[in-house]
Amino acid sequence: MIELGSRTHKLPAPQHVVWESLTNPHKRGSRPWLNLLSDEVEPAILVAEELTRLVWCSLWPSRPHDQVELELSSVGRETALTFTLLTPDDPPDPSKLGHLRKRLNHLLSADLRFSYGQ
């Protein structure tokens, strides 16, 4: 797998809450955060290591072999979430790569963060 990008964000929620959000984004009673664009699909979970690591399939049908690795760790009462975009294929052109990174960053550092009220 080739790493196409990686970023770490601190989220204002405990690790078990972030894990639940990532594994069950449409849980009844939770604030919606996984707001996908028309060129995106709901990610399926390929790997789940309870509370610490998830691997999602690609959110983009145009890049079906890409994966998103999500690693979680506690930082006091907060959670450090690292996402890494991976591919076994050739990297996309710079414009497409920028779009993919921006979307992951927006979903995980803005939409998910705001779902916790901050």
Please report, for the domain that includes residue 71, its CATH number. Answer: 3.30.530.20
pLDDT at 99 over 70: yes
> Structurally, how many domains does the chain consist of?
1
Helices (H), 24-107: 94-105
CA–CA separation, 8 vs 88, rounded Å?
22
Whole domain around residue 39: which residue ranges?
2-115
Rounded to 5 degrees, what are φ and ψ at 97? Answer: -60, -45
**Considering the chain, what is the average pLDDT of its residues?**
96
Locate 53 and state its tokens.
């690591």
Strands 45-49 and 53-57: antiparallel
pLDDT in tens, 11-64: 999 999 999 999 999 988 888 999 999 999 999 999 999 999 999 999 999 999
Strands 78-87 and 67-75: antiparallel
